[in-house]
Amino acid sequence: MRLFILFAKEDPKISKAEVHSLLDGKVLEETDEYCVVDGSIDYSRLVFSRYACSVLSEGVPKGLPAYKSFAVRATKLKSFKNSAREVERDVASRIKGKVDLEKGTVIRVFCGDELWVTEELWAYTQKQFKARDVNARPSFNPTSLQPKTARLLLNLANARKNVLDPFCGVGGILLEAGVLGIKATGIELDEKWAEGATENAWFYRVDKKVKIVNADFLEWKGKEFECIVTDLPYGKSSGLFGKKREELYSKAFKKFHTHTGKCVVMAQEDLRPLLKKAGWETKFFHSFYVHKSMRRYIHACSAKS
Ligand SMILES: C[S@@+](CC[C@H](N)C(=O)[O-])C[C@H]1O[C@@H](n2cnc3c(N)ncnc32)[C@H](O)[C@@H]1O
């Protein structure tokens, strides 16, 4: 199926990477505003896109399907200089059915150099994360990841079955994995945070999917996982327990190989050289602001063959 995906405005590089990781198929066209893909993608997981729509036509066709009820909404892309209202009227006049702006099937027209006439399948909403916001969780840790960022990391790993977070804190990544129906194991050295992660998993009813172990990851003997997704300890409030940061990271990265061939690592610095030394190839790298003044670096890696 051909899909039109409109990216969020924040960061096209992340939008593209997220779609590419989740897509089972090919990208037919791509700009900084949107992409058109052919294949299957679990678009309802996306957090850096606004809409996913099935393509009805490229350009306005003479005939369009009939709908019981529908609403046409046009979005102007950067290159479009004409009136979106006129496009809405023109497209609506070619559809048989009752206009219902509240409950009708949404026909989205994306107006750029070309007009893309589509049917909306999914629209992003920030509301989906409200209940799991860091401040809404029963166990609170200020360094914990917001659900949207946790979801992004899982998407960049294309996590589907079972994931390991070796530095899980109060479980920001584990919760999102659980909500997506992915099995997740978290390792946490601080007993208080390990208990917090367990409490959060119970509270959000993902405890059947999520397992938390109170242990030092470097000592932990675990099984194999589809991928590792983690936000590393930074050595301030998310402590290093007396270990030197570079030494901890480098030992951890080497140990990752015993558990998986794929990892997504978030850190407060560019760790590509250290990952390379430990046998990881960084396939995607990007830095972005988690809050106004907090910059983070994402590394999506595969084991070097
Ligand atoms: C940045 S925090 C993770 C936050 C987490 N992503 C969340 O959403 O709550 C890193 C965590 O790693 C834990 N940690 C540090 N060294 C560890 C080790 N050797 N083994 C396991 N956990 C460790 C810290 O206690 C801290 O909670």
User: Tens digits of per-residue pLDDT, 80-122?
Assistant: 999 999 999 999 999 999 999 999 999 999 999 999 999 999 9
Which architecture, in CATH terms, is 128-303? Answer: 3-Layer(aba) Sandwich (3.40)
Q: What is the 144 CA–ligand 1 centroid distance (Å)?
A: 9
Q: What is the 18 CA–ligand 1 centroid distance (Å)?
A: 25
What ranges in the chain are assigned the alpha helix state H? Answer: 12-22, 84-93, 147-156, 172-179, 191-203, 245-259, 272-277
The per-residue pLDDT for 235 is 75
pTM: 0.96
Confidence of residue 236 (pLDDT cuts 50, 70, 90): low
CATH number of this structure's domain 2-123:
3.30.2130.30
Sequence-ordered list of residues with C-beta below 8 angstroms from that of 303, at least 6 positions apart, any chain: 257, 260, 261, 262, 279, 280, 281
> Residue-wise over 10-47: b if at least 16 C-beta within 10 A, else e?
ebbebbbbbbbbbbeeeeeebeebbbbbeeebebebbb
Q: What percent of the chain is predicted at pLDDT more than 70?
A: 99
Whether the pLDDT of residue 237 is over 60: the answer is no
Whether the pLDDT of residue 166 is over 80: the answer is yes
Helix axes 12-22, 147-156, angle to 10 degrees: 50
Confidence of residue 55 (pLDDT cuts 50, 70, 90): very high
Q: What is the 188 CA–ligand 1 centroid distance (Å)?
A: 6
The per-residue pLDDT for 35 is 98
CA 95/CA 88 separation, integer angstroms: 11
For ligand 1, residues with CB inside 6 Å are 141, 143-145, 167-173, 187-190, 193, 216-218, 231, 233-234, 238-241
Q: What is the 171 CA–ligand 1 centroid distance (Å)?
A: 9
Residue nearest to atom 7 of ligand 1 (CA): 144
Domain with CATH 3.40.50.150 in the chain: 128-303
The per-residue pLDDT for 238 is 58
Q: What is the 146 CA–ligand 1 centroid distance (Å)?
A: 15
In the predicted model, what is the mean pLDDT of residues 214-233? 97
The per-residue pLDDT for 80 is 95
Q: Which is the closest atom of ligand 1 to the Cα of 238?
A: 26
Tokens for 239, please give them: 């402590």
Domain with CATH 3.30.2130.30 in the chain: 2-123
Residue nearest to atom 15 of ligand 1 (CA): 240
Confidence of residue 239 (pLDDT cuts 50, 70, 90): confident
In the predicted model, what is the mean pLDDT of residues 3-9? 98
Closest CA to 262 of 120, 162, 141, 150: 162
Residue nearest to atom 16 of ligand 1 (CA): 240
Q: What is the 192 CA–ligand 1 centroid distance (Å)?
A: 11
